[in-house]
Each structure stands twice: as structure tokens, then as C-alpha cells.
Structure 1
Amino acid sequence: MERLNQITQYLRNYYPQLKIDEEALSKAVQKNSFSPSDLAVNILSITGAIFSVFSFLGFLFLLNIYDSPSTLFFLGAIFITSSIAISYQVQKLFLDTVSISLFCAGLVMVGSGLGLQDATLNSILLIILGISSIPLAIKQTKTLTFFSFMILNACVLGLILTNKAYSLIPIYITIIASLLSYFCYYEGRMLTSNSLSRRLYSVIRIGLICSLVLSLVLITHAPQFNMTIPFIWCTSLVLIVLNLIFAHRILLRHEITNRKKQWMFFVGFSILLFPTIYAPYISGAILLILLNYSIYYKTGLLIGGLCLCYSLVHYYYDLELSLLYKSGLLCLSGSLLLLYYALLSRKIKRNEKI
């Protein structure tokens, strides 16, 4: 709401002839917002739904229902249909949790039924992926839409890992990072376009953030899973370019228009990221911070900060260098980050005085 007040005040100062319905605008923002408290409630709802699903599935296991594929298909179809119907008609927290529980139980039953029919893992993942895309196409609650979006992305990663198509992981990360960058760069256009984009914007944004974090964590632990990911440096180059684009946008926002200062910043920033060319999780975490800072999204900024801390610890721990070289790299990167922080803080304070 503070950001909304700043925008309306700016519009009044520079466009006095423009009429703003603050009450309607405030209601629209509250309706379409996805605040940190909403995220916490949604996470708790999903966690509770998963635990309830496990309990219910254990009860069905005791009834020996898992011996009949047709029964599993029938119950799974009923649960998924009921979940979508409940979510479509009623938007309350309790029923929203029930909806997620039914949807998750339905997916497990359909997957189990396919497994009993000796279906391949690829077929199971593709069918679950198709079912998970249904809530994205029709009007549903944000929680179910977010849950479906995450299952869809998990199925895509599952297909890649199952088929050992590790060369597709850089492409996947590049697509997710590019989509998230597009959503953040054209935030205003997305929120003022058709109703579908406006309704799904906040949900897909946090979904893309979580999906990017999931993929970055995956490549962070690639050596532990004996995964050889080719052309990983190509992903780093794309992420570095996106970092420079949004860094330039932030510099312009803080009125740093001097070309010499901009080039000094870009050169220093590139030098800082160059040693991580084979560790795209570093540039990916920094991109998360810049993206969310550019749109003032505090939840995403917190996620990006935690991801960066984890990535840095893992990166310096895995370096096959002596302790002296590791210390030098830490001092160099830390000094550059502190320098950038000092310059930005000085510029922000100067603008506040003006």
C-alpha cells in the first residue's frame, strides 16, 4: 500500500488533470496482491494438505484399495474434479485447504493407478503435468493455482532427470529466468492487460521465483548426484546479461546517468561475476535480488537473499583452491559488494535530501 500511495502521489504531481479512484484502486491491489503473510498462509495450507493426504492415503491402503487400478482411477477423477469445483465456487481458507488436499490425493491415486497398469514413468509424469495445467486455464484460488504451477514445474524437471537429459537443464533455467525477467520488466503492462494476465501475475511470479530457486539448488548439488551438465556456462552468460540489464534499470531509477560511472559499475560487476561462469547459481541468485528490488517485492527479495547466501557458501566451499586464494577471492568480492552498497546508499540519501 505504501508503494501505491507513492505512485498516486507522483501521478497527482505530474498529471494533475488525471482523476484517480483511490478506493477502487486500493481494493483491486488488495484483491490481486500476494503478500508475505499470504505466502506464509499458503505454505501452511499446502503443508497441512500434504499431511492430511498422507493420512488419508494410508487409510485407503489399509482398505486394500490400491489393489484395484480402476478404483484408483475412479476415486482420483472424483477427487480432482471435486477439488477444482470447490476452488472454483468458494474462496475460503478452510475449503481452499480441502481443495488442495483433494487435488493432491487425486494426483497420487491417478499416478498409482497408472503404475499398477505398468505405465512408464514418463507417461505418468506427462499425465500429471497435463492434469496440473487445468487449474491454470480456469478461474481458481491463488493457492491451488500456485500448487498446480509448482507440480507442473516439478514434472518438467522430473522428465529431464528421468531421461538423464541433463543438457536440457541450462535451457530450462534460461527459460525460467527469461520469463521471470519479462514479468518483472513489464510488470505494468501485465497488470493492465487482459484479466487472465492480471489474475495470474502475482501467482506465476512467485511460482517462477520458487521454480528458479529449485533449479538453482539442483545444479548446485549436481556433482553430488553425478550429473554432468554441458554448456552450463551458456546459462551463466544469459544470467549475467539479464543482471546487467536490470542493474542498468536500477541505476537509472536512482538517477545515476553519468556514462563513465555506469561503465565503471558494469565493468566491476562483470569482473565480480566472471569467476562464477561455471556456477550460474551465483548469478541466478543475484538476478533474483535485482529483479525483486526493481519491482519492490520484499518476499522475493528475501528469497533471493537467502538463495545468494546459500550459493556463496556452497561456491567457496567447493573451490579447489588453497585457503589463501579462497580468502583473496572472498576479500575481493566482499570489497566490491561493499563499494556498490556505499555508492548506492550515498546516492539514495542524496535523493532523499533533495
Structure 2
Amino acid sequence: MQNKDLLQDKLDYFQSLQAKEIIFNSEHLAQAYEDQRHDQSLAIKIFSVLGAVFACGTFTAFLFMINFFQTAFGFIGTGIVFLISAFVIDKVGKRIFLDSISLCLFLLGIGLVAFGFDRLDIHATLAAFSLFLISLGSMVISRGYIINFSATLLAIWFGFALFMDGEDQEWFYVLTGILGLLATYFLWNESKLISFSKGMAHRYLPIRTAVTLAFLVALYPVSRFTSLDYTSAYRIILSLVFIGLILYILSEIFRRMGYGSKKQRLGILLVLLFCLASTVIFPGISGALLISLICFHIHYKTGFVAGMIAFLYYLGQYYYDLEFTLLFKSLLMMGSGILFLALFFITRKKLENHEKL
């Protein structure tokens, strides 16, 4: 009762600041306030997740000890029961401990079903496709953040496994490019996707986070000079796609802000193109920069920090893998830093002048 009175006092205060009447959804605000009040610290969340993992792991080990899984269908049946239990707990539970339990049951369910497929000697492609469909179905059934986040990561993982084998590694470039386009679409069209439907509004944040992080991780194999020939056309095409997206996003940002003249915009884009042209054999740099640029524009802090960490790592790895002397690498890195700083200060100066006008 005290919390509701405090909330009502705050609403009355905001109403007093406006001449016109403001309509508040008091019930929704009260529920959000109550949920936030029950929110736990990060340490408690971590310990809750670890406790749930150990509990579910111990229970699964107990089932193995009593030879509960005697057949492949025992694995699959138990996995399905775990999955259903995870969805039920995710539906009724709104506490971090219950979320942790539902996550562990969900992951154990997926793992047991995968073990069952392996016992049945199902072809790897068919098993990956089945698990991919289960992951997508989990995203449709559940509205919880933690289940949707995990299901999205698993769907991406099984989607890659569906097309990958030991010899045909070129598919990884294609799938990474598709994942980059998907991440760009989800980040750039935030308002459109959230307003698409109520269900999408609940699922957007975990899907966005999972796709963004998965893309940044997927850039690692395609950016290693030792993984495939660094002169591969796939590597170059992938970089060109990311560079093209960067130029498009930046031009759209300039257009929306009304920044400078067309010549100034074109000049900045050409300078950026010149800087990125030297990294065309290393897609990780342009891919991470693309994510950082969009996340900075939409004020998505987690994605921006992750993108900048990935960008700095891939940039350092790029200079490290180049077959040049250490002195030349140092000069090249210093020159690139000076160029980026000059571009930053020029852009910042122009923006400040524009704001004054």
C-alpha cells in the first residue's frame, strides 16, 4: 500500500508540471515498479543460476547412476519432459531462481534429445535440422527472456551445423554474412519490430542480444588467416558486404541528422572507405565496426561495448597476423590511429557547429 501511495504521489507531481491532463496506466506502472523492487543483484542472479545448474546436473547424474536411460527413447522422452517443464516454469515464474531452473531444464532437455538422436544413429544433418526446429519452436512457445535468448543461440548454432561439414568450410562465410544482415536488420529496425506485434515486443530484446553476440563470435573463424586462404574470394566478398552496410548506415545517420552538405558527407564516406579498404581480407574489423556503429546510434550500450571489444581485438589480431616487420606494423597502427582520431575530431567539430546553428 505504501508503494502505491508513493507511486501515486509521483504521478501527481508530474501531472502538476503540465497544463494538460496526462493519462497514466497506473496498473501497469505499479506492476513494473513491483517487479523492479523484487529484482535481485547481479551476484545473487549468478549464484542462483549456478545453484540451479548444479541441482539439475546432480539430478541428471542420479538418473544415469540408476540406469534410467537404457534406450535412446529414454533420452528423448526425458528430454521432452524437461522441455515441457521448462516452458511451464518460465510461464508461471517471475523470479530469478525460477528462471534459472527453467533455463537448466531447457538446456538439459535439448541435450538429452540430442543424445537420443545420437543413440538412434540419425544422420547429423537430420538431427541438426530437428534440433533447429525445436529451438525455433521454443522461441514461439516461450516469452521469457532467458529461454528466448538461449533458444536463439541454439537455433543459430544448429543452423550453422546444418550446412557445415569437415570439408566444405565456405558455407561458414555465407552463413556469417546472413547472420550479419540479420543482426543489422534487428538493430536498425528496432521500433518497427517492437510495434509489429505484442509477442514480438516480448521476444525482441533477447533475440537482438543473441543475434548480435553470435555474429561477433562468428567473425572469429572467418578472420583467422590460418583457417582458410586469406586471399579467398569469400573473405573479400564478406568484407565488402560489411563495408557497404557501414557506408549505407552512416549515410542514413547523416541524412536523418541533416548533417553537412552532400560534399561533406561524401568526403567522410570516402575517407572511411579508404581506411576500411586495407582491411578487406579481414572481415572481423568491418563486421565489429558495423555493430558498434549501429548500437551507438540506437543507444544500445551492451551491443556497443561488445562491438568495440570485438573491434579492438580483431584490429590487433589483424596487425599481428600481417607478415610485416614489427617496426612497420607499429608505424601502420600509429598511422591508422592518427587517421581515425583526425576523422573523429573533424566529425565532432562539424556536429558541434551544426548544434550551435
Shorter chain as normaliser: what TM range?
0.7 to 0.9
Alignment-derived partner of residue 293 in structure 2: 290
> Which whole-Å CA distance do the structure 2 matches of 1:247 and 1:295 have between them?
13
Percent of matched pairs sharing the same residue = 26
State whether residues 166 and 227 of structure 1, in contact with CA within 8 Å, keep that contact through their aligned partners in structure 2. no
Alignment-derived partner of residue 223 in structure 2: 220
1:1-354 alignment runs, 5 A limit: 21=23, 49-162=52-165, 164-221=167-224, 223=226, 231-350=234-353
| Higher RCO (CA < 8 A, seq sep 6+) | 1
> Which whole-Å CA distance do the structure 1 matches of 2:227 and 2:56 have between them?
31
Gap regions ≥5 residues in structure 1: 1-15
Residue 43 (structure 1) shift = 7.6
Residue 239 (structure 1) shift = 0.3
| Amino acid of the structure 2 residue aligned with 1:266 | L
Residue 106 (structure 1) shift = 1.1
> Which whole-Å CA distance do the structure 1 matches of 2:190 and 2:356 have between them?
29
Residue 325 (structure 1) shift = 2.9
Going from structure 1 to structure 2, the CA distance change for 1:228 and 1:320 (only over 3 Å counts) comes to closer
| Amino acid of the structure 2 residue aligned with 1:305 | M
Counting matched residue pairs gives 336
> Which whole-Å CA distance do the structure 2 matches of 1:176 and 1:39 have between them?
30
> Which whole-Å CA distance do the structure 2 matches of 1:40 and 1:120 have between them?
42
| Amino acid of the structure 2 residue aligned with 1:192 | S
Gap regions ≥5 residues in structure 2: 1-17
State whether residues 173 and 238 of structure 2, in contact with CA within 8 Å, keep that contact through their aligned partners in structure 1. yes
Deviations 1:269-313 (A, max 9, x none): 011111111110000010011010111111111000110111111
Deviations 1:167-199 (A, max 9, x none): 222221222221222223222222222223322
> Which whole-Å CA distance do the structure 1 matches of 2:303 and 2:114 have between them?
33
State whether residues 52 and 101 of structure 1, in contact with CA within 8 Å, keep that contact through their aligned partners in structure 2. no
CA RMSD of aligned residues (A): 3.5
Deviations 1:141-171 (A, max 9, x none): 0110110000111112223333543222222
State whether residues 292 and 300 of structure 1, in contact with CA within 8 Å, keep that contact through their aligned partners in structure 2. yes
Going from structure 1 to structure 2, the CA distance change for 1:80 and 1:309 (only over 3 Å counts) comes to same
Deviations 1:72-125 (A, max 9, x none): 222111111111122123332211111111111111111112212222322322
| Amino acid of the structure 1 residue aligned with 2:161 | G
State whether residues 289 and 300 of structure 1, in contact with CA within 8 Å, keep that contact through their aligned partners in structure 2. yes
Deviations 1:13-61 (A, max 9, x none): xxx9x9975667x959x79x9xxx9999888766665555444333333
Residue 66 (structure 1) shift = 3.7
Going from structure 1 to structure 2, the CA distance change for 1:303 and 1:22 (only over 3 Å counts) comes to farther
Alignment-derived partner of residue 12 in structure 2: none
Larger radius of gyration: 2
SS in 2 for 1:276: coil
